[in-house]
Structure 1
Amino acid sequence: MRTTLQEIQDGESFDIVVVGAGGAGMSAALFGALQGAKVLLLEKTEYVGGTTAFSAGTTWIPNSHHAAEIGVHDDSLAKVGGYLDLAVGERSSAELRRVFLENGPKAVKAIETGTSVRYRARPLHPDYISDLEGSTLRGRALEPLPFDGRLLGERFRLVRPPIPEFTVLGGMMIDRDDVNHLLKLTRSFASFRHAVKLLSRHALDRLRHPRGTRLVMGNALIASLLHSLDARDVPVLTECRLDRLQRGAAGIEALDVSQKGVKRRIVVKGGVILASGGFNRHPERRRALLPGSDPQWCPGAPGHTGQAHDVAEAVGAHYGKPGLSHAFWAPVSIRKRGDGSVAAFPHFILDRGKPGMITVNREGRRFLNESTSYHLFGLGMQEAGVAPAYLVTDAEGLRKYGLGMVRPGGKGLKPFLADGYLVAGSTLAELAGRLGIDAAGLQDSVRRINEYARSGVDLDYRRGTTDYQRVNGDAAQQPNPNLGPIGTAPFYAVRLYPGDIGAATGFATDTDARVLDGDAAPIDGLYAVGNDMHSIMGGTYPGPGITLGPGLTFAYLAAQHAVARARAPQSRDAKSAVA
C-alpha cells in the first residue's frame, strides 16, 4: 500500500482524486473504489477524519432500510420533502433536496455492501424542528456502530483522536448509551455489568495503545471507512496538499500536489472531488462571512483552512447564494488545556436544555429558549449580541447533569474553579458579582424560572413545548421535563460563546455534485461534497446529521459521475493531451 507521495510517479493517472479525508471525502473515495476505479485520497493534516472524527457521526438519511428495523413504516419522500420545504423553503434548491432524498437510502445500502461501514437507526432521535408538519421522532437519524480500532493495526494512529473532553479515563470513548449506564452503575446490575466491561476493555487497551480502541460515534465511522479503503489498497496520503488544478478543454485534467517537499503532477481521468472541510479557518473568508466570531470558538478540526477553495476558485469555482447563515452553530465553553491548547466544548444536549438550567446575558436576563437546537441557540446568541452568555445552575443541577466540561456528580471541581472555567457563588448575588453581571436581573430570572417549573409553562420563551425539546430534557421532572427549580446553593455558571461547527456556504453544485462557475455552468471533472459543497439545507438545521447525510449522498453521486467520466472516450483523449 502506497502511503507517501514519493511512491506516486510524476504524471501517474488516476480515475478519481479526492482532496480531504473527512467523512464525505473518505466516503467518496470508497464509493469510487467500490466501482473498480483507481482512486487517490489526499489529506492535508497528519490525521484522517476531519471534524467527522470529533462528531457524534450521526447521519440524517430519511427512508433508509434501517428505519424499518425500529418499526418506522409511515415515512415517505412526500412527508420528509414537505418537512424540508417548510424548514428550508427557498433558501436552497428544491431539486437538490429531492435528489438527496431519493439517493440517500441508495448511498447507505451501497456503502454497507462489502465494506466495514455499518449504521443503525436510533430508537428515539427527533428532527430538530419537531413542531413542523412532516417531522418525525425516529428513523431518519442513523449512527455508526462501534468499531474495533485494533483491526487497523498500525493504521489506527491515523484516525484523528476525539476531543479529549469527550473522553474519560485518559482516552476511553463513550456514547450516549454508555453515559446512561455509567450514571446508573450503582443502581442497576445491567448498567454495572456494562460499565465493568467498558472499563476492563479500556484497561487492556492502555497496556498497548495510547488511547482506547473501542471506537464509537464519528471515530467509529472514520475508522470503518479507513479499514475499508485499506482493504481496497486505496492510497491515503496524509500531510499532502493540493497546490493547483489544471483545467483544459475537457475540464479538469490534472492537479499539482506536494508532501514534505515532494511535488507531483497527477493526471485525473474522472475528476477531482473536493472534500476539504469548508472555509471556516480561512482568515479572509472568516472575517467576511463570520464577522466577530473568534476562531478559538470553533470546535471543528484544524484542517478546514479553505486553502483548497483558493485553488478551486482559480479555475472558476463559485460559492452558492447565502442562506439563513454561512455556518452551523453551537454554544461552546472555552478552557485552556495543560499543554497550552484551547478546548472549545460544544454544549449540544447534555446540560443547557435540562431542568434547573438557565442562560442569561450581562443584565442577568434570559434571552432565548435554552432547550432549542444548538444551531438556533448559536444564532440566537448572535442575534441578541450576547457573547459571552452565562449558563447558570445550582448544586443539584450540577450534580445531575454536569456543566460543560464538568461531569455529572458534583466532584472534582477544584481545577475548574481554580482556572475560572467554572464560577461559583454561595448566593445568586455572589455568583453574579463574580461573573460581572447584574445581580438583580439574575435573581429575578431565577425567580421566574422557579415559578415556571411549578406550573410547567414558560411564559417567556415556551421552553419544553416541542417533542425535540422534551426528549432532551429529563422525563423524571414534571410537569415539564425542561423546567426545574434553581435554589440549592452553591450556584454555578460557565461562559458560553457562539461556535461555528461547520460551513453552510460552499461551492455551488449541480445534482451530480459538479462545481458550478459564475455562469452556473458545471466545471467538468470538479466536484464538491461535504462542507465544501453549498449546503442543501440553506443554513438551517432541520435534524441531527444534516451535514453528514448530504455528505454521504453526494459523495455517492459524485463518485458515480466521475467513474462514468473516467470510462468515457473523451476522458481518455484528455489524458493523452495532458501526458
Structure 2
Amino acid sequence: MSEQEHWDRETDLLVIGGGAAGMATALVAALEGLRPLLVEKTDQVGGTMSTSAGTVWIPGNRQSRDAGYGDTEAAAAAYMDALIGALDHTGIRAAYLRTGPQAIDYLRQRSEVRFVPSGKHPDYRDMPGAAVSGRALAPEMFDGRRLGRDFERIRPPIPEFLVLGGMMAGKDDIPRLINRFQSVGNFVYAGRLFLRYLTDRLRYSRGTRVVMGNALAARLFYSLRQQNVPVLFETTVQSLVRRGGAVAGAVLRTGDGQTLRVRATRGVVIATGGYGHNAGLRARFMPRPTPELSVACTSNTGDGIELGLAEGGTVAPDTQGPGAFWTPVSVTRRADGSRGVFPHLSLDRAKPGLIAVNSAGRRFVNEAHSYHDFVEGMYASHREVPTMPAHLICEAGFVRRYGLGHVYPGTTDLGPAERAGYLVTAPTLARLAERIQVPVEALQATVARYNDMARQGRDLDFGKGDTELNRFNGDPTQQPNPCLRPIEQGPFVALAVWPAEIATSTGLQTNADGQVLATDGTPIAGLYAAGNDMASIMMGTYPGPGTTLGPALTFGYRVAMHAAGRPVDAATGNGGQP
C-alpha cells in the first residue's frame, strides 16, 4: 500500500485551534490561495478571545494615524526595549512591530476583520517611547444575525459580562444604560438596545449585537465562512505524523468517534490557546503558589504545547517571565450554582476611594496599576505577608458611584451580593477588619494614612494617580487626583480578590515566521505555532491593552504567508498585500 493511501483526507495547511491565532492563520491562508482545514476541539470558536475586550496592541497602525494619533515603530521599539530589555536575538520582536500594521491592513482590505482606533488608551508603563494614544485598536461591532444559525458557533462572553442574561454592552454603552433615566438621549439609546435584545431572543440564545472580543471572534468566523474554509468541530488531535523528517499531517479524533489521518502538504499550525487549564504545565511554568483560578477558556488544556514538545519543540520558561499574563479576580456564584470569576481589569481599582490590603491590613501596591502589574504586586507582597486573597476596601457609596467587580454602578442594596458571599459590609472599619480577619488597628491606621494623602491629592506610598494609565482609568471629576478620595463614611465594603491569568505566556520557541524550533535552534519542518502556544515576545511583561491578541493576529498572518511561500520579509517586502 502506498504512503498516500494511508491518508483519509488531504489539505494544504492544518490549523489546530479556533481562537484568534488559529482563525487568523486559516483565513490568511485561504486568502492566499491555500486550502486550510481548521480543527476545533469544542463546538464553538473564539476561545478566550470571545470573553475578552478584543483590543489589539498594534503600534504604528494606519487607522490611528489616519485619525490623527501619531506613533512610530521606532518609538514603540524604544518602549519595548525599556520595558523588556534591548536584547532581541531572533529579531522576533522587531518582526512584530514591523508586521503588525501590515497584518491589520491586510485583514481589513480582504476580509470582514476590521478595527477602529481606541483613541486615548495609554500604554501600561510610563517609560521612554510609551504612547498615550494610537496603539490600541478595538474591533468594530458586529451584527451576529449575518451568521444566521452559525451565530451559535461563537463562544459567548462569561455570564458576568452579560446584561439581562444575554445582552452585550461595551464600555461606551455602560454609562448610558446606567443613566438611562437622566436624559432623553440616554433613555432612547437604552430603549433601542433593549428592544433589539428582546427581538434577538425570539430567534437566538443571546443578543446578536456583539462587541469587544466577541465581535472579533464573529468577524473572523464570518470571514472564514465567506472563504468556505472547512471547520471540524468537536475534533481533537491524537498525534502528529512525520514523513521524511518533516511534520506531514496529524491523526484526528472526531466527535462521533472516527479516526482521521489528515495529510497537510504545507504544514501543521499549533494554535490551541495555551495551557491555562493544564495542572501539570501550570505547576511547571507558573510561580508559587500556583494560582487556582483562570480566566482562560476551559478548553485551553495545553494540548498544542504537548504536541509540539513531543515533536522535539522547546520551551524556555527561564526567559519567558512568570508564565502568564495576570489579572486579579473575584469569585462569583452563578445562577446554576457553579463558580465564576470576574476579572478586575479597569472599572474599579483606579477609581478614587478604594485601596487594596493584604492579610496584615496594609496596602501593598498601587491599586491603579495595570491588572498584570497588580498581581505581580500581590506576589511580591505574598513573599512576606499572605496576600492571596487580598481585599479591596471602599465605602458603600463608592459601589453606588462606580460599581465593584460584579456589582454594577447604581447598586444601593448590597444585601444580595453579601448573602451570596461575594462581598462583606460593616458599619465601621473595626467591624470590617474583624469580618475579613485582618488586624483592626492596622486597617484603621492604613485607612487613616491613605485618607491624609487623599486630602492632599498625592499618594506618597505607591503613587496612585501619578501615571497616565492611572489617571485614564480614574474619575476626572475628582480633583486634584482622579484616583484618590478619602474612605471615611460607612458602611464599608470589602471584596476578596485572587490572582488569575487571562492568558499564558510560556510556549513553544519559534522564529519570526512561527516555525517551531528544535533544541538546536533550527526550524522543525512543517510545524508552526501561533497565539498562546507560541512563546510570547513580551517575555513576561505587559506593555499595553491587547498584548496577546495583537501578536496572535500578527504571527497568524506571518505563519500563513510563510506556508503559502510568500514570507512577509521576502524581497518585495509587502507580504502579499494587494
> TM-score by structure 1 length?
0.93
2 CA distance for matches of 1:553 and 1:262?
A: 34
Q: Return the match for 1:157 from 140, 152, 155.
A: 152
Q: How does 1:223-234 map to 2 (within 5 A)?
A: 223-234=218-229
| Equivalent in the alignment of 1:323 | 320
> What secondary structure, in the 3-state scheme, does the structure 2 residue paired with 1:98 have?
helix
Q: CA deviation at 1:65?
A: 1.2
Query: What is residue 493 of structure 1 aligned with on the other side?
Result: 494
The corresponding residue for 1:428 is: 429
- 1:292 deviates by 4.4
What secondary structure, in the 3-state scheme, does the structure 2 residue paired with 1:112 have? helix
Residue of structure 1 in register with 2:521 after alignment: 520
Q: What corresponds to 2:72 in structure 1?
A: 76
Which residue of 239, 242, 255 maps to 2:237? 242
Partner of 2:406: 405
Give identity over the alignment, percent. Answer: 44
1:182 aligns to what SS in structure 2?
Answer: helix
> Following the alignment from structure 1 to structure 2, what is the Cα–Cα distance between the partners of residues 308 and 533?
9
Pairing 1:538–2:539 present: yes
What is the distance in 2 between the residues matched to 1:201 and 1:289? 45
Q: Which residue of structure 2 lines up, in the alignment, with residue 168 of structure 1?
A: 163
Is the Cα–Cα contact under 8 Å of residues 395 and 410 in structure 1 kept in the other structure?
no
Against the structure 1 CA distance between its residues 92 and 167, is the aligned structure 2 distance closer, same or farther, given a 3 Å change threshold? farther
Q: Which sits farther off after the overlay, 280-289 or 524-533?
A: 280-289
**1:349 equivalent in structure 2:** 346
* Equivalent pair of 2:54/2:213 in contact (CA under 8 Å): yes
Match of 2:574 in 1: none
For residues 295 and 538 of structure 1, the distance between their equivalents in structure 2, rounded to whole angstroms, comes to 19
For residues 125 and 30 of structure 1, what CA distance do their matches in structure 2 show?
29
Query: What displacement does 1:239 show?
Result: 1.1
Distance 1:45 1:522 in 2: 30
Q: Please tell me the residue identity of whatever aligns with 1:424.
A: T
1:345-386, Cα deviation, whole Å (9 max, x unpaired): 100001111101000011111011001010010111112111
What is the match of residue 329 of structure 2?
Answer: 332
Match of 1:259 in 2: 254
Match of residue 133, structure 1, among 110, 116, 128:
128
Write the distance in 2 (CA, Å) between the matches of 1:93 and 1:150: 47
1:290: how far off? 2.1
1:372 aligned to 2:373? Answer: no
Residue 307 in structure 1 maps to residue 308 in structure 2: no
Among candidates 212, 216, 219, match of residue 217 of structure 1:
212
Aligned 8 A contact 1:45 1:238 in 2? yes
**Residues 523, 94 of structure 1: alpha-carbon distance in 2 compared, 3 angstrom cutoff:** closer
CA distance in structure 2 between the partners assigned to 1:299 and 1:349 by the alignment: 15
Aligned to 2:39: 42
> Is residue 333–residue 496 contact of structure 1 (8 Å, CA) maintained in 2?
yes
User: Which of 9, 12, 17 is matched with 1:12 structurally?
Assistant: 9
Q: Which residue of the partner structure matches residue 148 of structure 1?
A: 143
Cα deviation code 1:479-521 (max 9, x no counterpart)? 1001111122111111010111111110000111100011111
Per the alignment, in what secondary structure is the counterpart of residue 461 of structure 1? coil
Report matched runs for 1:168-187 at 5 Å: 168-187=163-182
SS of the residue corresponding to residue 110 of structure 2 reads coil
Q: Does 1:66 align with 2:67?
A: no
Q: Relative to structure 1, is the Cα distance of residues 236 and 285 closer, same or farther in structure 2, using a 3 angstrom cutoff?
A: same
1:416-457: per-residue Cα shift (whole Å, max 9, x none)?
111211100011111111111111111111111111111111
Q: Which amino acid in structure 2 is aligned with residue 147 of structure 1?
A: F
Greater mean alpha carbon deviation, residues 555-564 or residues 192-201: 192-201
Question: 2: distance between equivalents of 1:476 and 1:219?
Answer: 32
**In structure 2, distance between residues paired with 1:315 and 1:200:** 53
The separation in 1 between residues aligned to 2:546 and 2:365, in whole angstroms, is 23
Following superposition, the deviation at residue 186 of structure 1 comes to 3.0
**C-alpha contact 2:295 2:503 (8 A) present in aligned 1:** no
What secondary structure sits across from 2:11 in the alignment? strand
Tell me, which stretches of 5 or more residues in structure 2 are unaligned? Answer: 1-5, 568-578
Q: 1:109 aligns with which of 82, 100, 105?
A: 105
User: AA paired with 1:156?
Assistant: F
Q: Which amino acid is 1:298 matched to?
A: S
Question: Paired residue for 1:200?
Answer: 195
In the TM superposition, 1:541-552 aligns within 5 A as 541-552=542-553
- Distance in 1 between the 2:501 and 2:367 partners? 18
| TM-aligned CA deviation for residue 248 of structure 1 | 2.7
**Which residue is equivalent to 2:294?**
298
How far residue 102 of structure 1 moved from its aligned partner, in angstroms, is 0.8
Is 1:381 aligned with 2:382? no
SS in 2 for 1:430: helix
Aligned to 1:395: 396
1:40-96: per-residue Cα shift (whole Å, max 9, x none)?
Answer: 0011122110000010000011111101232113x1111111111001115765711
* Residue 191 (structure 1) shift: 2.6
3-state SS, counterpart of residue 452 of structure 1: helix
2:270: which partner in 1?
Answer: 274
- Structure-2 residue corresponding to 1:5: none
1:463 aligns with 2:464: yes
- Calculate the TM-score normalised by the size of structure 2: 0.94
> Is the CA contact (8 Å cut-off) linking 1:91 and 1:538 kept in structure 2?
no
| 1:200 positional shift | 1.4
| Whole-angstrom CA distance in 1 between matches of 2:483 and 2:560 | 44
Give the secondary structure class of the aligned counterpart of 1:225: helix
Q: Does structure 1 retain, via aligned residues, the 8 Å contact 2:252–2:260? A: yes
Report the RMSD for the aligned CA atoms in angstroms. 1.6
State how far apart, in whole Å, the 2-side matches of 1:296 and 1:163 are: 18
Structure 1 CA distance, aligned partners of 2:343 and 2:108?
30
Identify the range of structure 1 (352-361 vs 250-259) with the bigger mean alpha-carbon deviation.
250-259
Q: By how many angstroms is 1:404 displaced?
A: 0.7
Quote how far apart the aligned CAs of 1:293 are: 5.1
